[in-house]
Amino acid sequence: MTNEDAQRLVLEIIAEIAPDEDLSDVKPEINLRDQLDLDSMDFLDIVMELRKKYNIEVPEEDYPHLASLDSCSKYLIPKFKSVSA
């Protein structure tokens, strides 16, 4: 899994939970909540979808690792590898 793959999966989840958001110009290095109209419930939905779709558990203390697309990919790539192993 590449950075782009992980970022694409996160954007696909965001598109499902916030279908009115324009995701065409999301900057990977900028906090997602600063760029998009996501509230804390949307963020929890992202975490729940990661668990439901990909069997990836994100403990509450790791939530800050999901702030931007860049930080999401850094955090999620090793998790995807351990789940698929």
Torsion of CA 77, 56, 38, 24, to 10 degrees: 40
Q: What is the per-residue pLDDT across 27-42, written as a single tens digit (0 to 9) for each?
A: 999 999 999 989 989 9
One of 1.10.486.10, 1.10.1200.10, 3.30.70.20, 3.10.20.30 is the CATH number of 3-84, namely 1.10.1200.10
Reply yes or no on whether the pLDDT at 85 is more than 70.
Answer: no
Band of the pLDDT at 20, cuts 50, 70, 90? Answer: very high
- 13: tokens are 């989840």
C-beta of residue 57 within 8 angstroms of C-beta of residue 51: yes
Q: What are the distances in angstroms from CA 28 to CA 9, 55, 66?
A: 13, 24, 11
Reply yes or no on whether the pLDDT at 70 is more than 90.
Answer: yes
Closest CA to 3 of 72, 49, 54: 72
> For the chain, what are the domain ranges?
3-84
